[in-house]
Chains A and B, each alone.
Chain A
Amino acid sequence: MHYHPFIIPFTAGAIILFAIIIFKFIAWYRKLDKKQRFYLRKNILTVKSIEAIKETFQEALIHRNIYKTNPLLGYMHMSLAFGWFLLIVFGKIEASLHAQTLFEEPWLAIFFRFFVRDEHKFFMSEIFPPLMDFLLLVILSGVFLAWIKRFKSSLLGMKKTTKHSKFDKIALASLWWIFPLRLLAESSTAALTGNGSFLTGTVGNLMAVLNLQNFEIYFWWAYSICLFAFFVSLPFSRYMHIPTEVVLIFLRKWGATAGEEYSGYTDFQLNACSRCGICIDVCQLNFTANIQNVQSVYFIRDTRYKHLKDEIANNCLMCGRCVEACPVGLELTVIRQQLRNKKEIAGKHYYDYAQPEQAEKKYDVVYFAGCMTHLTPSIIISMKKIFEEAGINYWFMDENKGACCGRPMRQQGFIQQSKDLISINQKLINSSGAKTLVTSCPICYKSFKEEYVLDIEIKHHSEFINELIENNKINIHNSQKSIVYHDPCELGRGCGIYEEPRNILSKVGNLKSSGFEKQNSLCCGGSLSNAIIELEDQIKIRNHALENLTTCNPDVLATACPLCKKTFVHGNKAKVMDIAEIVAENISLHNHSSKQKENNRIKTKIKL
């Protein structure tokens, strides 16, 4: 039997680690809701599990997503994760081959060089020392990069890194020292016995010169204690993401989704956050308004350790830039929403005053402008013009007395009020018998898509106009103006509508790129989700976004959201227009009645 007292810290640490992890996983599993468990049972024995293994390999070991942020940063994570993984796997194979059983002492693989001091004499034994040395070298290069990152993170492509808590620092320090100590321990043994290879052998010779090889046993002790410290601090530190991320990938593949309420799945997501801090650099509150404590990484940390403050949960634009950047793929905005939700009050009803009326007759299309669109009447006028030109039998649902779609309420966590508003609007929409619902506001659009139960097609006006143009219902001419398109958060990242607006704009003008396109688009700062920041900060965000969007001096800054338009207009930097306005401006009138109306409009304008 291979035994020495220095294996005790390692073994004890490993036992504690596995006990805590299993305990935590069971506790979270029990908190999963029925739907999530149903999917889990349904898909566990399907091809989805194999896909999950593939993704685990790509994300948890290779860290493909971090390579997209910065190659060097990706290499750092890969060398540590994949390198260590291979070191464990090959260590285990080596130990098993040596012991000629699969069930040798579990610590033999870790301290192999100490226990097996002679020349290796077993099957393929000459391969392992150089292989293990190579892996150790790869890991050490990763550790070296990690040290550099601590002192100057910009070299690895990160402007700001996470400010860590005490526990994280302990875990981090022990992780940093595990591999240098392993190198020292193996090298000192190599100096005494000559069982090292190109790395440990060379370092061993160096140590022999300095007469350090006699400290061999202390190095092994230090190595073991470092492992103990890391194992014990792992479940309570950010390194809990190592086991949790794997489970999360499997749960996600099996079809679990984050619901409206905090559940066990949220716990898995919270713990899968590695606090890498990639979300800090993309957060507009950070780099424009200099707000440093609300980013997703801190929000997730505070939630996980249960000291989340209202100010932090609410201070977020919910623009979704961090969701796109997150290498683990956490649904950060959904989690934040879950934490914002307030309790419902049984039996209480709101908005009795807004009783749903009936639509007067049947229509083909319902147009819901949305509250914000009423602040930008030019969009409404343009939409009316487009509807009339296309000859559509439409109903302007909230022309006089509209109720809000309910999403602003929901974003502040007032679920019950939101549901009441939804039921009012739902009854109204259903009474019209229409097949299509068109809305001008991306906030309403997302709400209709996600929270309403409607049996009709829901379209944002950019989708709708695009279809009209494709089907030749309206004709437009190219104005040759240069246009930059700003993706509204809720429409782009929120609903994935990127192509339709661009398609329209490339037909009416000269579409230019701003450098902040699609998933990387900026928030205008007017977001309704943030009830904390004041006007001063909003202006900073807006000005920064405007500056970046108008670098190529476009004639028109186009957007598809009344809120973005209203916010940008105040910036006085460029002519801001909604897509509907641009189309209405460049429409070639054919329809007789709309022609007449347009003439009348011009006449009254001249009279005024």
Chain B
Amino acid sequence: MKNWGFKIAEPRTLDLDKADLKLYSKIVEKVPSARRCLMCGMCSATCSAANHTNFNFRLVHHKLRMGMFESLNSELDKCMLCGKCRMLCPRGVNTRAVIYNMRIVLDNMYYKNI
């Protein structure tokens, strides 16, 4: 068979029935406006941290929704909580609170209050 230089990709469907949405439901409970997100990416466009690195809040939020939070911890550490994303969000999502709460929930060991 002739080699065309590419092949048919494996399907990349995510099975949401199997996804772990515990974290997402926890976050939504604390920040109900997170449901309103329509993934427009305004937050990532204005991000201060994105000037320096490939931090992308839209991606972080997307991964959270899909239950893929293995790598989120180190990713979230890049955020400076400056709050610009919140000012621009056209859907009024409290993006800053989403990150704040994700940090607390993911890193509960350290960030428990006194």
Contact = CB atoms under 8 A, between A and B. Distances in A.
Interface of A: 262, 308, 310, 313, 339-343, 345, 350-351, 353-354, 371-372, 374-375, 400-404, 406, 408-409, 412-414, 417, 421, 526, 528, 531-532, 534-536, 563, 566-567
Contact of B81 (A339, A340, A412, A532): A412
B51 A528 contact: no
Contact of A374 (B84, B103, B111): B84
A458 to B, nearest CB: 19
A414 B81 contact: yes
Interface of B: 31-33, 46, 48, 51-53, 77-78, 80-84, 87-88, 92-94, 96-97, 100-101, 103-104, 110-114
A528 B96 contact: yes
A138 to B, nearest CB: 44
Given A353-B78, A401-B51, A408-B80, A534 B88 contact: no
A402 B51 contact: yes
A404 B48 contact: yes
17 contacts: A310-B113, A340-B113, A342-B111, A350-B78, A354-B52, A371-B84, A372-B82, A375-B46, A401-B51, A401-B52, A403-B48, A404-B81, A414-B103, A528-B81, A532-B97, A535-B92, A535-B93
Contacts of A414: 81, 103
Given A310-B113, A345-B110, A404-B48, A535 B81 contact: no
A371 B82 contact: yes
Given A353-B53, A400-B51, A401-B51, A262 B114 contact: yes
B80 A351 contact: yes
Ordered nearest first, which 4 A-B pairs have the shortest CB separation? A535-B92, A404-B80, A371-B82, A404-B82
| Max chain A Cβ within 10 angstroms of own Cβ: one of B46, B83, B84, B100 | B83
Nearest to A410: B81
A353 B97 contact: no
Given A371-B84, A531-B100, A351 B92 contact: no
B48 A339 contact: no
Given A403-B48, A534-B32, A535-B94, A313 B84 contact: no
A567 B88 CA distance: 10
B20 to A, nearest CB: 24
A351 B78 contact: yes
Given A343-B112, A353-B53, A414-B103, 16 more contacts: A310-B104, A339-B113, A343-B110, A350-B77, A371-B80, A372-B82, A375-B46, A375-B87, A403-B48, A404-B48, A409-B81, A528-B83, A531-B96, A531-B100, A535-B92, A567-B87
Contacts of B88: 375
| Max chain B Cβ within 10 angstroms of own Cβ: one of A371, A372, A401 | A371
B33 A534 contact: yes
B92 to A, nearest CB: 4
